[in-house]
Chain A
Amino acid sequence: MSEAFVTALLELADDHLVLGHRLSEWCGHAPMLEEDLALPNMALDLIGAARGLYARAGEIEGKGRDEDDLAYLRGERAYLNCLLVERENGDFAQTMLRQLYFAAFMEPYWRAAASSDDPVLRGIAAKAVKEVAYHIRHAGEWVVRMGDGTGESARRMAEAVEELHRFTDELFFSSPAAEAAEAAGLLPVRAETRGAWEATIRTVFAEARLGWPAQVWAQQGGRAGAHGEALGHLLAEMQSLHRAHPGAAW
């Protein structure tokens, strides 16, 4: 059991770190100064959650790997994040929609995690649930403004939906490891959050005057380490310095 739980925790941790990393790429390059502050706030929430999750995974694993070993010394095929979070930032519409999709999933997920049998996870969830509730608000308000703003913003927002919606199904997919942890009462069942997620997204889309996208082939593979090409570059950059100095303290 513990091995499956470790894997499932890594899936969650990788989601948070990769998305936090993506958001941090905006710092200093946002459309307005106010967003130069808002985006790092969200990134810091996500990186903070990732650290807690890595630490817990390392602890249960019991091989002495700490948060940095897990974040910096696993390669592309060992990373287990879903495909949505690794997508490149694209424009502001894509960044905000990606954030909304992810937060709208994590909010009910963390709420359900309040009844996990793992006390450490309960602690992480209690903190994170408030953070992602704000992410929904912030990203949601932006999606509304871009969807129902100018002609150009509406076009870009619709394009973002087309680009990213195909990655949302993977959020509800439980890997064998996650299934085992779910069955053991350690993690919430991913599929059960779909109703809440869809309600959030539909509310925002209605206000943003965005159409619900047609069924497309849902992209999956992240939980098995089968990623798109973007993740390799992200990790190459993120891990380069750490890997160049094996064993060094920072």
Chain B
Amino acid sequence: MARLRIFVRTPPGVAALVLLVGLLFLVVAAPTIWGAGAANSNVAISNQGPSGAHLLGTDALGRDVLDRVLVATRSSLVLAVLATAVGGAIGVTLGALSAVTGRVGARVLGAAINVLLAFPALLLAIFFAVIFGLGSVASVFAVGASFAPGFARLTQTLAASIAERDYIRAARLLGRGRFHIAWRHMLPNVSEPLMLYGTIHVGTAILTLAGLSFLGLGVQPPAYDWGQLLQVGLSQIYLTPAQALGPAGAIVIAGIACNLAGEVLADALSGRQRVRPLRPVPAAPGSRSGGTGLLEVRDLAIELPAAGGVVRPVREVSFDLQPEERLGIVGESGSGKSMTALAIAQLVGDQGRVRADRLSFAGRDLLAEPAKDNAALLGRNMAMIFQDPGEALNPALKIGTQLREPAQVHLGLDRRAAAVRAAASLRSVAIPDVRRRMRQHQHELSGGMKQRVCIAVGLTGEPKLLIADEPTTALDVSVQRQILRLLVQAGEREQTAVLLISHDIAVVSEVCDRILVMYAGYAVEDAPVEALLRAPAHPYTEVLLAASPDMATERGTPLPTLEGRVPGPEVELSGCYFAPRCTYADERCRSERPPLAPLDATRRVACWHPCNVPAPAATRADEIAASR
């Protein structure tokens, strides 16, 4: 219920609430207050225009139109609520039946509901009005019946979504009957969305009933609702337009009230929060001395807009990547490794802010130049491979088109030459029957094949750097190794450097030359694979390795686990971000952050108390800290 506070907090919520309360007041009180004026006929003043005594004029029998519109609120809304209830009762019963009737029954019911759903509610309502007859009660049932298919489908979908939940299975194992399960276990668990759907549908019911009455097929005189008043008023529209505009206005107000309430409700339930995009920063003058690496990253930090202000998924990352080198970035989810990759590929987007002392690729400082000037270089020499190949390939385009594009755009090849190059790169990732594959769409390929296509797309340019972000996580275990081997082979053949991002240190150590360990947006250790595996220096690396089983791991001994969670991008600590989970942490770790400092010629670590290191080496970080 706390979420419903949105009705008093936001302007649309307040407006919806005021309108609904007003309508409710009319439902309860209008017949008592204005009932007399609505019923008093006086033919002497028939069909008069608006006047002081009759704000909306009078009808053919001299009755006050405004009074009649106000009084009609009760019949219009009460009938709508009843119709929704009838529709809900029939629909939910039909939907629940499909959970009870077994597979064949469910399919037949589903097909029938499908056919009925194709027809607009008003047509169904007219159909049922023919059967049930005209009048208030009949129209409640007609409109109710026309809503039933929608309720039935929703019930079916919801029931199917929980059919395999444990409590349903348990009830089934206990030998409970289908009716018992449907009534006691399923319906209570899907009642909330059904109630929401029903609440929102009251608005539709008001409009459908008004439409039916307007056609003369709903409420019959002497009873009246807004639709009936509109029908009568419309016949006098040239004489006294107010007679038609009165009930029309009432329907508009009710429609707006219900629509607004529905939207506020949906917003409240989705819990959506708006964030403000950050203002871009001008390229900050930093130490931009160029090095020799293919990729140089110095003090990279990323800020993203969030509901509560700004979060920092990447706080301080520095590393170099040499041509043809394979570097793995490892860390838990939330460590900032994917954002680091996006920043390197200049894909953070203009809602976030990327800062770095230096972020250069192939000798070009990417942050110093306007984005569009970097496009040619990045498009030609950098390629990115994403986690889920099913999501990363465009579903509407043929494989061939997506393969050709980089060659056409960045290498300036014509269509034919690009196709030849595309076919070659498809062959290089071991995809047979290239001609046929090029004409297919991604949904016609298996998961492993899709990822191979993604790699092939990356290779059709002239990549100097392949960035692969969890390229095997979404794939079957059986094809993971193939994809990794392909990446290595492609890197060696095309003389391409590889940046492999993974949460799995075993995967990375199999493929890469060097590993960068990330934690909470910081690079905490950077070392060659052998050194890192043999003697991890950062306590976090040590835990990561210990938690990763290999062939030598004793079966039966439990793997060590790490308590707690990575501090989120919104957390600000003054000390080491790993300290809260670290067994070696002391007072200094909690108050002062260790910089990423050289441990020896090939290794760097950000820790005051590195493990597996002879004591003197540990003091290097202190020296650097002191010199800063």
Determine if chain A interacts with chain B: no
B: residues with CB less than 8 A from A are: none
Instruction: Report A's interface with B, CB cutoff 8 A.
Output: none
